[in-house]
Amino acid sequence: MKSEELTRGGGVNLTDALQGKIAGLQISNSGTGVGGSTRVVIRGSSSLSDNNEPLYVVDGVPYDTGGHDIDGQAGLWGGTDRSGGAFDLNPEDIESISVLKGPTAAALYGSRAGNGVILITTKKGGAANEAIGVTYTGKFAWNPVSYFLDLQNTYGQGSNGVYTPEATGSWGAPMGSIAPVAAWWDASTTVPYQGDANPYKEYYRTGNSQSHNITVAGGKDNPWRLSFGRDDNQSVIKPSTINKTSVDLVARFEAAKWLHFDVKANYVRTVGNNRQTRGLYGTSFYITTLPRSIRMADLEAHAIDEDAAALGKVAHLNWYGPNADYQNPYFIQKQFNNQDIQNKFFGMGKMTIDFTKNLKLTVKEGFNWIDYQTKNWYPYKDPVFTSSYPEVDMRKTTRIENNLEGLLSYNNKFGDFDFGVSVGGNIMHAKSEGLHGDGRKIALVGAMFISAGGEIKASNSVYEKEVQSIYAFANLGWKNFLFLDVTARNDWSSTLPAANRSYFYPSVALSYLLTGMLDEMGVGYNKDVLDYGKIRASWAKVGKDTDPYQLQNTYGSSTGENGLVVIEQNTTLANANLKPEMANSFEVGTEWHFFKNRLGFDVTYYNTTTRNQVMKIALPYSSGVQNKWINAGVINNQGIEVQLYGDIIRTRDLTLGATLNLARNINKVKELYHDAETGIDVNQYELGHMTGNAGVYVRAVEGEPIGSIYGTGYVRDAKGNIEMKDGLPVTKSEVFLGSVQPDFTGSFGLNFDWKGLTANVLFNFKKGGKLFSVTEYSAAHAGTAKRTEDRQNFTFNGTKVDAQAFWTNAPAEEFMYDASYVKLGEVSLGYSFSRKMLEKATAGFVKTAKISLYGTNLAYLFSKTPGTTPDGSSTDTSIFASAFDMCPYPTTRNFGVSLTIGF
């Protein structure tokens, strides 16, 4: 995929730009808006520990997207999503991207490539002559909040149809039907019993962003390129901004005919300010459950009791409480402050020696160096969550990953045979060190530094691992139509015990080019009809190590109660016998092009089985430990991917083409863990749960796909009728409510090109998969959801029931939705000025110019969720979170304009 195709949607985040453009690539956003995490899964999930992300490889070097200590995702209970688009290379620096879906690339890039590889080639500069070219690209985008939960707009605060100031729900009288009521912050004044038509719109603003990029490139024999980029984003919440600065330098130097050097240095600095907390304790949750008669403007004006704040007393004001369930979103905004700064250096130096025409040695050092710091500060005493506020908490992490690699390659041709052999070695060393300081219970009003704390905690952490590898690969071609590729790799990982630390994984791939054979054998065929026909098959095995420090039991230590040192045992049992994880996969595919490349398709079937996953199983607490690290599990993914393209019209000046991508993945947990010796049988594995009355669990269950949702549901009799008792349906816990796995996903695109005027339209779709609308669940319990509006004659199961009693007791099952959708994902319109026109107009000063208008996430043509969006609505990017639409920021539509000028 070329860069134009990626950037036409104006994506600031590269992974967003890949959305819907490749079959079998599932991308979901965490709903955190600009700067949020994105989940990329190729060919379904195989890992129970949510380690399904592909490996990013930039110019041959693994790119560190931030590890366990960097990603800082938000969770169900809040937290701040700082992923900032884990892959944060400037899109303007990218020449092309290809996605290697199968595991055959693992021999070259190691076990992390087992989930697939996103291979990125960056722009290299260079020019036909020695002239220096300068290019400027500017983008401006607006992100209006556009998709909200449907709210009822009739009833205000109260209970049983009557207004009461002590009521927490919106079950009161019709709004406007009673005289103004005492203001919640001051009983001596009154406010109308009438709230905002759309409280979300009162709270969120239109986000916006602009980015500027300047590139200077030149060189003929020694090409070079320097680019500078700057992004400024303002999120939909007022104080929240993210700024990014990037510099990229690439150069190639030919020292001699047989020796040349490549260097790349990339620097990205990202500064995030006041990224918002999310999840059940995020601002959006409190807006969702706010009684409809409370006005947002009043909450904003009376969020803080300034007199109390000045004295260091609890200053949080809210219409009710405040307690964990009822908080003022404007207070949260002022209380939860954060900043994160990430300085990231990425690059490589490569030396290539051409000994002969056929024999070549490359030695390459690739490095990732991330310096990351976060600061959270909470200026007010506010004991809702912790008595430790006011508090300042700072973390600093330095993370380094080095890859030193050498590869010796030999290529030649003997008669009908083409062949190549390479042998290589790699050392991957990763280390991160963290420092954490925390000042709690700060008594000095306004002192937001650690040493002001009445209680000060500090700690440090280390994460280190190394993998050494040797590998070889060979390719053999016969008569330009039969090709064989064989690879083998052996890794030694520091994270595994000595007996198991060495593991070997090979692969074989065979492809057969029908058109090549016909050409070779001189068999005639109509070349106007058939251009290309290929069949391919491959088999591969990939081994994988684990995280450090899982082999021996240790203790933790901290300053504990009464200021004295405590030692704490680990409730997870280490395992000195861990083995590497192994995945076997098999794949067949075929690719055909017809009618001078006007029509083509590519179909692939794959089947991957992962065994011996390192996972943490639950043990009987009564055994003294909660979990243990083990190797277990057999998880299978199989599926079909189809890519189809065709040009409906193709003339010299006009092209109208269409593309269709379809992918179906069938995931099954075949086996989990059965240990005859200890008697422990694990046939379900919990990926996460939401306790409370909804009682929703997301699990991997033997015999089912990963991501089965269980929760409270209705009790049905033998005929399937819902049982009723005392005028309400009977409910029970642990009812199977559906699976997060979709039946199929895909996209349909149209592209149009007429004399430099281009237009693209992309539809994304997904069929199947379920989600639990936590947003609506919370709103229905609070009486704010649109569904609760029918109060006088509400019937359920054929009988009239009390709406308030029904909705405040409604089980999770009532809020399960089909996550299918069809959306107008992207529309873009561009015009490239012709060279002639520019030469005439600017006397040759401007060489290229292009202007584009684009919009993304424009409309859901089909969706069943209650106003929320069925994709991109969760707190983080885990399988667990994909089972929810979790009070995210309201999703935005995005509009933008971009301009590129080359001099």
Choosing from 244, 252, 501, 579, the residue that interacts with another protein (CB under 8 A) is 501
Dihedral in degrees, nearest 10, Cα atoms 609, 614, 617, 623:
140
Dist CA 752 CA 760 (whole Å)? 6
Segment lying near another protein (by CB under 8 A), choices 272-280, 534-542, 677-685, 895-903: 677-685
Structure tokens at 699: 């699990």
424 binds another protein (CB under 8 A): yes
**Does the footprint of another protein cover residue 557 (CB under 8 A)?**
yes
Q: Using the rule CB under 8 A, is 500 a contact of another protein?
A: no
Select the residue interacting with another protein from 127, 132, 134, 443 (CB under 8 A): 443
Stretch in the footprint of another protein (CB under 8 A) among 455-463, 760-768, 828-836, 850-858: 455-463
Neighbours of 141 (CB within 10 A): 23
3-state secondary structure of 185: coil
Site for another protein in 589-618 (CB under 8 A): 618
556 vs 756 by CB, closer to another protein: 556
Residue with the two structure tokens 């062949």: 419
Structure tokens at 533: 């026909």
Stretch that binds another protein, among 336-344, 399-407, 533-541, 788-796 (CB under 8 A): 399-407
Q: Considering only residues 231-260, where is the footprint of another protein by CB under 8 A?
A: none
569 binds another protein (CB under 8 A): yes
Q: Would you give the binding string for another protein spanning residues 103-122, x where CB under 8 A is met?
A: --------------------
CB of 639 to another protein, least distance (A): 31
Contacts with another protein in 299-338 (CB under 8 A)?
A: 314, 321, 323-324
Q: Is 179 in the site for another protein (CB under 8 A)?
A: no
Which CB atom, from 101 or from 489, has the smaller least distance to another protein? Answer: 489
Cβ at position 290, least distance to another protein in Å: 17
When asked if residue 684 is in the footprint of another protein (CB under 8 A), the reply is yes
The DSSP output letter for 622 is G
Chain centre distance of CA 369: 22
Q: Which stretch binds another protein (CB under 8 A): 511-519, 546-554, 739-747, 877-885?
A: 546-554
Confirm or reject binding of residue 404 to another protein (CB under 8 A). yes
Least distance in Å: CB of 470 to another protein?
A: 6
Contact 825, 762 (CB under 8 A): yes
**For tokens 């055994």, what's the residue?**
623
Does 134 help bind another protein (rule: CB under 8 A)? no
The residues in 787-826 that bind another protein, with binding defined as CB under 8 A, are 808-809
Mark residue 115 as left, alpha or beta (left: phi above 0; alpha: psi -120 to 50; beta: remaining). alpha
Strands 417-440 and 455-478, bridge-based pairing: antiparallel
The correct pick among 522, 679, 720, 798 for binding another protein (CB under 8 A) is 679
Please state, in angstroms and rounded to a whole number, the distance separating the CA atoms of residues 352 and 346: 20
Residues with Cβ < 8 Å from 608, sequence gap 6 or more? 43, 46, 103, 583, 584, 585, 586, 636, 637, 638
Least distance CB 72 / another protein (angstroms): 19
Q: How far is the CB of 102 from another protein (least distance, A)?
A: 26
Q: What are phi and psi of 790, to 5 degrees?
A: -80, 105
Tell which positions 181-210 bind another protein, by CB under 8 A: 187-188
Is the bond preceding 322 in cis, omega lying within 30 degrees of 0? yes
Which of helix, strand or coil describes residue 875? coil
DSSP states along 768-789: --EEEEHHHHHHHHHT-BGGG-
Q: Under the criterion CB under 8 A, does residue 445 sit at the interface with another protein?
A: no
Question: If binding means CB under 8 A, how many residues of this protein chain bind another protein?
Answer: 92
- Nearest approach in angstroms of CB 692 to another protein is 8
- DSSP character for 756? T
Indicate which single residue of 621, 800, 837, 839 sits in contact with another protein (rule: CB under 8 A): 621
Q: Indicate the helix (H) or strand (E) that contains 569.
A: strand 565-569
Establish if 723 lies at the interface with another protein (CB under 8 A): no
How are beta strands 696-701 and 684-690 bridged, if at all? antiparallel
Binding mask 340-369 for another protein (x = CB under 8 A): ---------------xx-xx-x-x------
Among 476, 625, 634, 829, binds another protein (CB under 8 A): 625
Taking the complex as a whole, the smallest distance from the CB of residue 358 to another protein amounts, in Å, to: 8
Least distance CB 482 / another protein (angstroms): 27
Q: Indicate the residue among 159 and 198 with the shorter CB distance to another protein.
A: 159
| 499: contact with another protein by CB under 8 A | no
Structure-token pair, residue 387: 């008595």
| Residue 684 DSSP SS3 | strand
In sequence order, which residues have a C-beta less than 8 Å from that of residue 254 and are 6 or more positions away? Answer: 221, 222, 260
Nearer to another protein, 597 or 797 (CB): 797
Which range, of 5-13, 487-495, 835-843, 847-855, touches another protein by CB under 8 A? 487-495
Binding positions for another protein, 460-479, rule CB under 8 A: 460-462, 464-466, 468-470
Q: Do 136 and 214 touch, CB atoms closer than 8 A? A: yes
CA distance 699 to 374: 33
CB of 434 to another protein, least distance (A): 9
Closer CB to another protein, 556 or 844, in the complex = 556
Tell which residue, 695, 691, 775, has the closest CA to residue 286: 775
In terms of CB distance, is 216 or 435 closer to another protein? 435
Q: Which stretch binds another protein (CB under 8 A): 29-37, 156-164, 663-671, 789-797?
A: 156-164
For residues 463 and 445, the answer to whether their CB atoms sit within 8 Å is no
The nearest distance, CB 805 to another protein, in angstroms, is: 8
Kindly indicate which of the ranges 47-55, 60-68, 392-400, 456-464 contains the residues binding another protein, using the contact rule CB under 8 A. Answer: 456-464
Stretch that binds another protein, among 281-289, 504-512, 555-563, 741-749 (CB under 8 A): 555-563
Least distance from another protein to the Cβ atom of residue 462, Å: 5
Q: Are 199 and 296 in contact (CB under 8 A)?
A: yes
Is the CB of 10 or the CB of 811 nearer to another protein?
Answer: 811
**Vertex 265, ends 260 and 267: CA angle to 5°?**
175
CA distance 440 to 452: 8
Q: Residue 625 contacts by C-beta under 8 Å, 6 or more apart in sequence?
A: 571, 572, 573, 619
Token pair belonging to 820: 């299918």
Distance of alpha carbon 200 from alpha carbon 187, whole angstroms: 26
Instruction: Name residue, tokens 């809210």.
Output: 318
